[in-house]
Amino acid sequence: MSVATAEKQWQVAWVPVGLHHGTFVLLALLILVNAALTPNFATFATLWNLLLQAAPALLLGVGMTLVLATGGIDLSVGSAMALASVAAVLAIPHGTVAAMLAGLGTTLALGVINGSLIAHWEVSPFLATLATLITGRGLAQVMSRDGEVVPFSDPAFEALGQGRLGPVPVPVALAALTIGAGVFVVRATTWGRYLLAIGGNERAAYAAGVPVGRTGWIAYLVSAVLAGVAGLIETARLGATDPANIGAGAEFAAIAGAVIGGTSLRGGHARISGTAAGVLILVVISASFNMLGISYAWSMVLQAAIILTAAALQGRGSPGEGRA
Amino acid sequence: MSTCWGRRKFLQRLAAGALLLPGCRQSGGRLVVGFSQMDTGGAWRVAETRSMREAAAARGDRFRLLVTDAQDQTAKQLADVEDMIARRVTALFVAPREYEGLETVFAAARRVGIPVFLLDREAREPGTDYLTFIGSDFVAQGRQVAQWLVRHTGGQAAVVELTGTPGSSVARDRAAGFREGIAAAPGMRILAAQTASFSRAAGQRVMSNLVQAFGPRLTAVYAHNDEMALGAVQALRAAARRPGRDVTVVSVDGQRAALEAILRGELGATVESDPRLGPPAFAALEDHLSGKPVPPRLLLTDRLFDASNAARFIGQAY
């Protein structure tokens, strides 16, 4: 074995693993520091508050990780949240179930459009989902008369965002289930293996008989529908739809969470648990800066520094290795 | 009066190759005026745009209004205003996202003799870069809210402040006015001031963090707009602090949803910031066109709404 291969092996074996664990170490560290410094941080109320705030981004993060694994990207998730929100609130007069179906149906349609553009017309994922980001946000605002905030009152719908199962807020339970399902799908299903194969080397995957188009298509569908669920949760928490603001910039939180968690933008990786930790790191930073009374601008600086560090560490590993 | 886009005229201009040249100030014999709106998110902006459209429609025989939406981006607003100057509109109404980014286009408008009317957000030098400012006195709004809160709490309150978009003159002035208003009451303390960017979702998120940090110590919330206050009300309820009883919430804007919250007892007071700028804006334009002098600041009088009068005014709220 030559020195070069040995070094390569070392990187393959250790850099991603180190980064993967690094995410959890950093999260633990942030929590410990805050427990010591931030007043009232180490309480159950704060724990649930943090997880509740993270829940929509966690859902987006799972979908984004699957899409990133194929070597694609989904910029439209924030707009999908707004679309689901407006569609659901407009449908509330027809009942809670109809409202939720309207919300999810709209995002399903968005996912079909994204998937078709990318898989069948071979539009680059960045451009296709940038287009649906812009159209989706515009459409959401048009649907609510120029972007008006529309309040509603429907206790069953609001329970989706404000209810609890025992001590656990409903959105947190949904996020936890989704993360569990995501980890299972990537590790234990054929579709999960196809996903990583496409991201690793699309041509080789195609030659090996992987249904490239359909596999990627489903990833965008899942991403859009999870964004729909996140949009419904935000709407239920607010008791209103705010089409100009719901989900604005949410795609960045999801992408950043995934990158911090060790999922590469080059495809071939899908570290769902890492994404969850990455999203939580961002939420702990912004929430604790609020609680400490430090300007929001500084939390953005710290978040950016962590994202860059994670990206730089990833750059040293080679693409294509590592699984969930 | 000749029309600019009538078919005959259109063909003549096409033949002359002059279609894209400046000089098309009129449309169907009417004067074309531009309105550059910074964003259409939120009830306040929607009501402002609607008011401008209605005021223009009421003078439909004389004016035609072009409306652009900068979608909360200064760069887009810059381009929007440049486009309207290139079209040689008769006058420009601008609701600026931030004034500093627009100085160059205002200078360009002045060079070609297009008067600029600044709406709702003020800048430094009226009379040179723009003809007049039409809007509210944001410092006075903050002061009015503060004085109500001092009276209502007997001068004893620990306040959390949810501030607007950092750097905007509205946020700066509403913060300054509030501090003026509580200066004489030593029992009024500001525990924290954090931005929630004028949005309901951010108001809820930031407030839920602040409730965790301060717990029962916090007794009042001052939000720079109703949207953030309504988000804060949701966050307080989720943390089992009763808005209106355990914590007094006050804000600025006076939108319908806020008046409804006052009637439910969740919001203490809100100071109106009237978005209906269309009628005074067009009145100022007509004065200017007929040669009458226009004062450099046209300030609207803002009313305070609380439980004593909310029911009476809710029909007028936007």
Task: Say yes or no: B189 contacts chain A, CB-CB below 8 A.
Answer: no
Binary contact (A146, B192; C-beta < 8 A): no
Q: What is the chain A residue with the closest CA to B198?
A: A245
pLDDT tens string A285-323: 999 988 888 888 888 899 999 888 888 887 665 444 444
SS3 string of A147-181? CCCEECCCHHHHHHHHCEECCEEHHHHHHHHHHHH
Instruction: Find, in chain B, the residue whose alpha carbon is nearest to that of A162.
Output: B238
Closest chain B residue to A39, measured at CA = B213
Within an 8 Å CB–CB cutoff, is residue B272 touching chain A? no
Tens-place pLDDT, residues A132-160: 999 999 999 889 877 778 888 899 999 99
* pLDDT above 50 (res A269): yes
Q: Are A63 and A222 in contact (CB under 8 A)?
A: yes
pLDDT tens-digit profile, chain B (318 residues): 344 444 555 445 444 444 444 444 555 678 999 999 998 777 788 889 999 999 999 999 999 999 999 888 888 888 999 999 988 999 999 998 876 778 888 888 988 999 999 998 776 665 667 889 898 899 999 999 999 999 999 999 999 999 998 877 889 999 999 999 999 999 999 999 999 988 899 999 999 999 999 989 999 999 999 999 999 999 999 898 999 999 999 999 999 999 999 999 999 999 999 889 999 999 999 999 999 999 988 888 889 999 999 888 888 787
Neighbours of B225 (CB within 10 A): 30
The tens digit of pLDDT for each residue in A194-251 reads: 999 999 888 899 988 889 889 999 999 999 999 999 999 999 998 889 888 899 899 9
CB A237 within 8 A of CB A51: no
Give all domains of chain B, ordered by start, each with its CATH number. 2-134+276-297 (3.40.50.2300), 138-273 (3.40.50.2300)
Residues of B in contact with A45 (CB under 8 A): 212, 239
Distance (Å) of CA B192 to CA A64, A151, B46, B229, B233: 35, 28, 31, 15, 17
**Cross-chain Cβ contact B234/A237 below 8 Å:** yes
- Does the structure show a pLDDT above 80 at A4? no
3-state SS of A61-96 is: HHHHHHHHHCCCCCCCHHHHHHHHHHHHHHHHHHCH
B257 closest CB neighbour out of A145, A151, A290:
A151
